[in-house]
């Protein structure tokens, strides 16, 4: 099991503490504070940007009443860790599997979240739908292959995940403003087209395609 995500765990922990009665005895109180300290220190390891504040709160658990501690925990705001967010894991999956159909149900199963959460988080984080992201990634990879190889357009369409060459032609016309053949053997044209279709989407983290 991974470390707890402070972004979601802290508010939930604060609400839980507010909802329950304070420990009835000094021994139980001490044990509860030790458990809470352990949880906070574990969260600090996954949220380096808030580690200092979390460690401070953990160190002060021996002081104050439970109501005050609960309110403080609930008020702490920790940004989601990129590597633990649903959107980030979704992007990692898409970057590794864009050559396949990438059905939403398979994406959701891979990242361990519901299809609704996957679509909402991805759109909120990257400003585009999963479908739009896949089109852009596939087009950029197709442009690279057109500029650097003499493979048939039909083979490239299959290799980058479009499946149907007519689908690739349609997206080329809509986003690149020209048919695939215009970019054959021309790296400058391909680079310019990649920048036009999505200047905010870097080419890193996307695996290269080898056509067999």
pLDDT tens column, 161-206:
998 999 999 999 999 999 999 999 999 999 999 999 985 555 544 5
pLDDT per residue over 72-126, tens digit each? 766 665 555 555 588 888 999 999 999 999 999 999 999 988 999 999 989 888 8
d(CA 196, CA 147): 16
Residue 1 is predicted with a pLDDT of 41
Query: Which CATH superfamily, name and number, covers 85-212?
Result: Homeodomain-like (1.10.10.60)
d(CA 29, CA 6): 23
- Measured between its terminal Cα atoms, the distance across the chain in Å is 39
Confidence of residue 212 (pLDDT cuts 50, 70, 90): very low
Residue 204 is predicted with a pLDDT of 43
In this prediction the pTM is 0.61
Residue 22 is predicted with a pLDDT of 76
* Closest to 87 in 3D by CA, of 53, 54, 46, 133: 133
Residue 91 is predicted with a pLDDT of 92
What percentage of the chain has pLDDT greater than the value 90? 45
Report DSSP state, residue 160. T
Domain locations in the chain as residue ranges: 6-81, 85-212
Residue 54 is predicted with a pLDDT of 67
* All residues at 6 or more sequence positions from 159 whose CB lies less than 8 Å from its CB, including other chains: 99, 145, 151, 209, 211
* Closest to 64 in 3D by CA, of 76, 56, 53: 56
d(CA 140, CA 134): 10
Confidence of residue 136 (pLDDT cuts 50, 70, 90): very high
pLDDT at position 154 over 60: yes
Report DSSP state, residue 201. S
**Mean confidence (pLDDT) of the chain:** 80
Mean pLDDT of 4-30: 70
d(CA 207, CA 94): 10
Q: Mark out the alpha helices in the chain (DSSP H runs).
A: 6-19, 26-46, 51-59, 66-75, 86-97, 104-111, 115-126, 130-148, 153-159, 165-171, 187-197
| Residue pair 97/108 in contact by the 8 Å Cβ criterion | no
pLDDT at position 4 over 60: no
Please give the residue that has the higher pLDDT: either 109 or 1.
Answer: 109
Residue 82 is predicted with a pLDDT of 59
pLDDT per residue over 8-20, tens digit each? 566 666 677 677 7
The tokens describing 7, both together, are 């972004």
């Amino acid at each position: 099991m991974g470390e707890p995500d402070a972004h979601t765990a802290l508010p939930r922990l604060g609400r839980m503490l507010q909802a329950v009665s304070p420990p009835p005895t000094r021994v139980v109180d001490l044990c509860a504070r030790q458990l809470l300290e352990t949880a906070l220190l574990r969260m600090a390891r996954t949220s380096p940007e808030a580690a200092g504040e979390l460690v401070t709160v953990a160190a002060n658990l021996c002081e104050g009443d439970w109501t005050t501690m609960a309110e403080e925990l609930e008020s702490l705001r920790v940004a989601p860790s990129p590597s633990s967010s649903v959107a980030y894991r979704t992007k990692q999956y898409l970057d590794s599997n864009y050559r396949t159909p990438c059905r939403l149900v398979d994406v959701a199963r891979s990242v361990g979240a519901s299809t609704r959460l996957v679509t909402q988080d991805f759109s909120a984080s990257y400003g585009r739908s999963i479908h739009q992201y896949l089109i852009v990634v596939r087009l950029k990879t197709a442009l690279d292959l057109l500029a650097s190889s003499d493979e048939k357009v039909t083979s490239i369409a299959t290799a980058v995940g479009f499946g149907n060459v007519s689908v690739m032609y349609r997206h080329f016309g809509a986003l690149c403003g020209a048919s695939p053949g215009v970019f054959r053997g021309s790296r400058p044209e391909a680079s310019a087209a990649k920048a036009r279709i999505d200047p905010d989407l870097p080419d890193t983290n996307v695996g290269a395609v080898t056509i067999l």
